[in-house]
Structure 1
Amino acid sequence: MESVVIQPALAADKVSLFKVITTKDEIVIGISEGDLAQIEGQNAGGVAKMLVTKGSMSVWQYAVRKSAGGDLEQSPLHKIGLIASDSLRIEPYATPLRVLPIDESKK
């Protein structure tokens, strides 16, 4: 895969955001620093390679929401499963919004 100049957005405890694109739709996912450290390359190419190698993986889907103070922020929505597909593309996702950390207790 090509090297990407844009770095993924990071939260305070380092959640990297990526956009997953298929022929039908696109979503934003977050991968914690610990999980990303286990992925070769620790980038979109590594995530794509791991997905193809394993066939599927569990990740957190992220969405924009309003905070209690009214500011927009990227927040974990729920844990989802990704399945490898020929029409899948994964790329870093940059956002100007605050990125909230993953709360594993909300699985």
Structure 2
Amino acid sequence: MESVVTQPAFAADKVSLFKVITAKDEIVIGISEGDLAQMEGNAGGIAKALVAKGSMSVWRYAVHKSASGDLEQAPLHKIGLIASDSLRVEPYATPLKVLPIDESKR
């Protein structure tokens, strides 16, 4: 039996991707290296921070096509997460290029 360990995908400026799963749906979020360091640097730390704060703002990521036609993970827009008992946060691995967060698009 093989064991597969997934690591979050990283962009050039160290954006980590995570999948947030609720009873209704799942989304992919990106968190910058600096913000992630304040949350223990892992999915468990994100979950703890969310429960402690009750809510938090993060960047939602989605697959889009670049100008050259390649698929890549790109920040879509900033969203708010609300703590919930049915919430799970886990690392999200992708073979695609992960674009950095552009804070000017808030």
> Shared fold by TM > 0.5?
yes
Deviations 1:56-95 (A, max 9, x none): 0000000000000000000000000000000000000000
Partner in structure 1 of residue 87 of structure 2: 88
The letter of the residue matching 1:36 is L
Is 1:78 the counterpart of 2:80? The answer is no
**Which structure 2 segments of 5+ residues have no match?**
none
**Which structure 1 segments of 5+ residues have no match?**
none
For 1:88 and 1:35, locate their aligned partners in 2 and report how far apart those are by CA, in whole Å: 20
Structure 1 residue 6 displacement after superposition = 1.9
Deviations 1:19-54 (A, max 9, x none): 0000100000000011111112x1000000110111
Moved over 6 A (4+): none
Q: Map 1:32-51 to 2 at 5 A.
A: 32-40=32-40, 42-51=41-50
Structure 1 residue 5 displacement after superposition = 3.6
The letter of the residue matching 1:86 is D
Aligned length, in residue pairs? 103
For 2:78 and 2:33, locate their aligned partners in 1 and report how far apart those are by CA, in whole Å: 16
Structure 1 residue 7 displacement after superposition = 1.2
The letter of the residue matching 1:68 is A
For 2:44 and 2:5, locate their aligned partners in 1 and report how far apart those are by CA, in whole Å: 13
Question: Counterpart of 1:79 in 2: which secondary structure?
Answer: strand
Partner in structure 1 of residue 98 of structure 2: 99
Question: Aligned-residue CA RMSD in angstroms?
Answer: 1.1
